[in-house]
Amino acid sequence: MNGIGDQFQQQTKYLPDKMPKHRLVWEAKPSLYKEYPQAARIDLPSFEPSAVMSLDETLRRRKSIRDFRDKPLSKGQLSYLLWASTGIQRQQDGYAFRTAPSAGALYPIESYVIANNVKDLQAGLYHYSIQAHQLEALASQDFRHEIAQAALGQTMRTAAPAVFIWSAVFERCKWKYGQRAYRYIYLDAGHIAENLALAAVSLSLGTCEIGALFDDQVNAILGVDGVEESVICMAVVGVPL
Ligand SMILES: Cc1cc2nc3c(=O)[nH]c(=O)nc-3n(C[C@H](O)[C@H](O)[C@H](O)COP(=O)(O)O)c2cc1C
């Protein structure tokens, strides 16, 4: 019981007589949004699901889908899935709150999408600009081979029409919670992933979360350093076979 994970679990416990004495430096609060000012921006259409599926049915139907039909996602579906997983859902008390909860409303998770087969969208890597509800185009190329390699060779899955990749900007959460932030970051990513899974089912689409990945290979695809920002997990999305 002395591995790094065991130590982490013990050393990040809150204990009544040993609470961290951490003063918040408001001037140093990291921005909650990552933007790519040089990137071309692509509008995401507004999209309303044509038939509303009850939450009960969505929960009963959700399962991991690993094989997909050779059918594109529409831009509207992608738009809805991005919004449903982590989009802005309400303005309240001067803050923009999102569809998934986040510890301290610090929102450390960034969303990227590899589009392999999305109608009217060039194949490539995109970043989701949450505030603008737009895509920022980062690289136009076929990433199927690279992302499959980075996902331990899960070739079928990563050839899905879209691959969502979630990274964390650690300082956003560490600013308030120190090392305990890592617990919250993983939980935040899990909420987002489940939002995506349920939203996809409600559109008769399927997803499979992917945690088996070579972190730094995915980081290299995203162009992030793996220290300040690193991949946490991914999910593939498509029309089930
Ligand atoms: C954090 C996490 C990581 C996962 N990683 C993978 C993965 O790399 N490859 C895969 O095929 N499935 C992966 N899965 C899917 C699980 O295998 C799946 O959820 C589990 O078998 C339960 O089946 P169900 O989702 O159909 O209910 C992952 C699921 C989670 C939550």
110-142: pLDDT as tens digits: 999 999 999 999 999 999 999 999 999 999 999
pLDDT bracket for residue 201 (50, 70, 90)? very high
Q: From the CA of 64, how far away is ligand 1's center (Å)? A: 6
pLDDT over 80 at 46, yes or no:
yes
Nearest residue (by CA) to ligand 1, atom 3, is 211
State residue 94's pLDDT score.
Answer: 94
Can you give the pLDDT at residue 73? 97
To the nearest whole number, what is the mean pLDDT of the chain?
A: 96
pTM for the whole structure: 0.97
* Residue 156 Cβ contacting ligand 1 at under 6 Å: no
Nearest residue by C-alpha to atom 27 in ligand 1: 63
pLDDT at 233 exceeding the cut of 90: yes
CA of 15 to the centre of ligand 1 (A): 33
Q: What's the average model confidence in pLDDT over 2-20?
A: 94
Q: Whose CA is nearest to atom 2 of ligand 1?
A: 211
Tell me which amino acid residue 206 is. G
Q: Is the CB of 66 under 6 A from ligand 1?
A: yes
Q: In this structure, which residue's CA is closest to atom 18 in ligand 1?
A: 64
Q: What average pLDDT does range 3-30 have in this prediction?
A: 93
Asked if pLDDT for residue 180 goes beyond 80, the answer is yes
Label residue 156 by pLDDT band (50, 70, 90): confident
C-beta 136 within 6 A of ligand 1: no
**Candidate from 53-62, 154-163, 187-196, 226-235 with smallest mean pLDDT:** 154-163
Residue nearest to ligand 1 atom 25, measured at CA: 64
| pLDDT, position 48 | 82
